[in-house]
């Protein structure tokens, strides 16, 4: 039994050290080198730049409060859409706190609300950084955005349809709209309209 133990000491120590170098250093370093060379945009966080400034990542949702913008889902990440504190609300299905939050979000929708509300619009995502909402949740906000920007609802609704991504091969994923990309397209459309009017 003692020999079983003593014969293990050298392999255990040396192999741990070597595997630490191979798997803990060389492997991530190799992938970083290849990733940065082949897919630099993705490897660095799919950043969106505007005039040299970084305005966000395509993959990470942002908080929107202005009526001129489409709003994402309620977020439990920090004070909302904080990537240094990702996570969900973790509230159970029969939680008082959940019901209170949903009621207050429903009230805040106010005039946007016609009939039932799509679930994703009043539920917190798992990451708190969900970049998407469902097309129905976007449609529910069209009237508000149109009024705030003095644009036609038909035009904005068309933009939502244009920005809707459908499931891959009809199976993978849900129909969805990236809120940040939609709002950027909305700003561009608004600007183009204003310039044409001038």
Site for other proteins in 100-129 (CB under 8 A): 102-103, 106, 113, 115-120, 122-129
Q: Distance (Å, rounded) from C-alpha 176 to C-alpha 165?
A: 5
- Assess contact for 81 and 87: CB atoms under 8 A: no
Query: Of the candidates 67, 110, 130, 151, which one interacts with other proteins according to CB under 8 A?
Result: 130
Residue with tokens 């891959």: 168
What residues numbered 134-163 form the site for other proteins, per CB under 8 A?
A: 134
Q: How far is the CB of 197 from other proteins (least distance, A)?
A: 23
Among the listed residues 51, 52, 67, 83, the single contact to other proteins using CB under 8 A: 83
Nearest approach, Cβ of residue 181 and other proteins (Å): 10
Contacting residue, 51, 52, 67, 90, with other proteins by CB under 8 A: 90
| Under rule CB under 8 A, residue 37 binds other proteins | no
Handedness of CA 188, 138, 125, 96 (dihedral sign): positive
Q: Is the dihedral of CA 50, 54, 59, 64 positive or negative?
A: negative
If one asks whether residue 180 binds other proteins (CB under 8 A), the answer comes out as yes
Q: Tell me how far CA of residue 70 lies from CA of 21, 144, 176, in angstroms.
A: 48, 9, 13
Could you give the CA distance from residue 47 to residue 51 in angstroms, rounded to a whole number?
Answer: 13
Whether the CA torsion 4, 5, 9, 12 is positive or negative: it is positive
Q: Cβ of residue 100: shortest distance to other proteins, in angstroms?
A: 9
Count residues contacting other proteins (CB under 8 A)?
Answer: 106
Instruction: Work out whether 198 is an interface residue with other proteins (CB under 8 A).
Output: no
Q: Write down the least CB distance from residue 32 to other proteins, Å.
A: 5
């Amino acid at each position: 039994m003692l020999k079983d133990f003593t014969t293990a000491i050298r392999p255990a120590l040396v192999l741990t050290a070597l595997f630490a170098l191979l798997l803990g250093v060389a492997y991530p370093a190799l992938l970083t080198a290849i990733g940065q060379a082949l897919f630099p945009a993705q490897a660095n966080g799919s950043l969106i730049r505007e005039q040299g400034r970084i305005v966000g990542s395509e993959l990470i949702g942002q908080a929107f409060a202005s009526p001129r913008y489409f709003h994402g889902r309620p977020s439990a990440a920090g004070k909302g859409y904080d990537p240094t504190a990702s996570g969900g609300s973790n509230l159970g299905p029969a939680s008082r706190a959940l019901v209170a939050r949903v009621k207050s979000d429903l009230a805040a929708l106010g005039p946007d609300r016609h009939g039932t509300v799509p679930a994703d619009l009043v539920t917190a995502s798992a990451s708190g950084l969900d970049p998407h909402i469902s097309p129905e949740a976007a449609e529910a906000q069209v009237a508000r955005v149109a009024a705030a920007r003095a644009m036609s609802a038909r035009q904005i609704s068309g933009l939502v349809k244009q920005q809707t991504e459908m499931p891959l091969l009809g199976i993978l994923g849900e129909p969805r709209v990236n809120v940040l990309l939609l709002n950027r397209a909305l700003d561009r459309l608004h600007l183009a309209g204003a310039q044409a009017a001038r």
